[in-house]
């Protein structure tokens, strides 16, 4: 029984010593964190924002819930225009800060970081939270009005872009429909032309077959019509020679007859015998 009590006392002493060491380590880390915070502040005043950021990060490494270090780190990152990296630091400060003034400052700077990133919806929400913790902050109220105006403009632009894309899609679809209608119309015309050609070929073949089936008498008449006819008045050389001779003989007879008539009508002068 005495041995058991002795063991309990030893265990209690060990836990107590570890707790004391842990407390000493925590106190030492907090001191280091405060030291790095002051160092960072000195660098921040000299506008050495990168070195100040390193000092604040070391402070947070020793005390992760050190809201002053996270807030100052956010400011240093903001000054270096690292707005995206500054946002989580301001969010952490707003979450861990115990007084409303610090929360209001963290939300105000968070809103500014969102403004730089054109996240106007996030900025509006941050500025509203800042005013909830400090309603008298006119600068935050002004920033809220600007953020709201920019958000409205952004929403309108998004709406216009959406309508523009919708109209573009509709126009593209209309063009596709027109192309399809044109293609179908051309195909219909081609089909009609092909059909007309087939009908013409069919009709032509039918006419030929019909011609072939015509009456034989008509075929004979057509053949006779196609035969060359003898030309009228065409005489052979012998006939021409005979005709010329006949004409010549007739001319001689006629001349002789005329000479006889001339002689018969001529008056002869008579001499008187008194």
Q: What is the pLDDT of residues 74-120, one digit of tens each?
A: 999 999 999 999 999 999 999 989 899 999 999 999 999 999 999 99
For residues 92 and 145, membership in a common domain is answered with: no
Asked whether residue 71 is domain-assigned, the answer is yes
Domain of residue 135 covers 98-184
Domain boundary among 163, 184, 205: 184
Asked whether residue 197 is domain-assigned, the answer is no
CATH number of 32's domain: 1.25.40.10
Domain boundary among 65, 96, 127: 96
pLDDT band at 222 (very low <50, low <70, confident <90, very high): low
- How many domains does the chain divide into? 2
pLDDT at 151: 96
Kindly give, in sequence order, each residue whose CB lies less than 8 Å from that of residue 147, ignoring residues fewer than 6 positions away. Answer: 111, 114, 115, 120, 123, 124, 127
Asked whether residue 274 is domain-assigned, the answer is no
For residues 26 and 90, membership in a common domain is answered with: yes
Sign of CA dihedral 171, 173, 176, 181: negative
How many angstroms separate the CA atoms of 74 and 57, rounded?
10
Percent of the chain with pLDDT over 70: 70
Using an 8 Å Cβ cutoff, are 111 and 78 in contact?
no
Q: What is the value of pTM for the model shown?
A: 0.54
Q: Say which residue the tokens 């807030």 belong to.
A: 71
How many angstroms separate the CA atoms of 143 and 257, rounded?
151
Which stretches of the chain are assigned E, i.e. beta strand? none
Domain boundary among 76, 96, 116: 96
The pLDDT tens digits of the residues spanning 166-210 come to: 777 777 887 888 888 788 888 878 878 888 777 776 666 555 555
For residues 88 and 108, membership in a common domain is answered with: no
The pLDDT tens digits of the residues spanning 110-144 come to: 999 999 999 999 999 999 999 999 999 999 999 99
Asked whether residue 28 is domain-assigned, the answer is yes
Asked whether residue 120 is domain-assigned, the answer is yes
For residues 108 and 61, membership in a common domain is answered with: no
For residues 92 and 152, membership in a common domain is answered with: no
């Amino acid at each position: 029984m005495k041995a058991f009590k002795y063991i309990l006392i030893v265990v209690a002493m060990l836990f107590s010593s570890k707790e004391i060491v842990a407390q000493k380590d925590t106190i030492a880390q907090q001191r280091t964190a405060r030291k790095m915070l002051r160092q960072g502040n000195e660098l921040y005043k000299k506008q050495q924002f990168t070195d100040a950021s390193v000092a604040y990060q070391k402070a947070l490494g020793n005390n992760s819930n050190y809201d002053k270090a996270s807030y100052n780190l956010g400011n240093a990152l903001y000054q270096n225009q690292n707005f995206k990296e500054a946002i989580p630091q301001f969010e952490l400060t707003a979450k861990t800060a115990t007084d409303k003034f610090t929360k209001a400052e963290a939300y105000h700077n968070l809103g500014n970081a969102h403004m730089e990133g054109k996240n106007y919806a996030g900025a509006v929400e941050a500025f509203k939270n800042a005013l909830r913790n400090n309603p008298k902050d006119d600068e935050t109220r002004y920033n809220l009005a600007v953020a709201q105006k920019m958000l409205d403009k952004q929403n309108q632009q998004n709406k216009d872009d959406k309508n523009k894309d919708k109209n573009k899609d509709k126009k593209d679809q209309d063009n596709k429909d027109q192309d399809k209608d044109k293609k179908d119309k051309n195909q219909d015309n081609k089909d009609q032309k092909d059909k007309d050609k087939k009908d013409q070929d069919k009709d032509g073949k039918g006419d030929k077959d019909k011609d072939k089936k015509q009456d034989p008498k008509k075929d004979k008449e057509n053949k006779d019509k196609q035969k060359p006819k003898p030309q009228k008045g065409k005489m052979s050389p012998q006939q021409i020679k005979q005709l010329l001779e006949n004409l010549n003989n007739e001319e001689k007879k006629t001349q002789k007859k005329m000479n006889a008539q001339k002689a018969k009508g001529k008056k002869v002068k008579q001499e008187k015998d008194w």
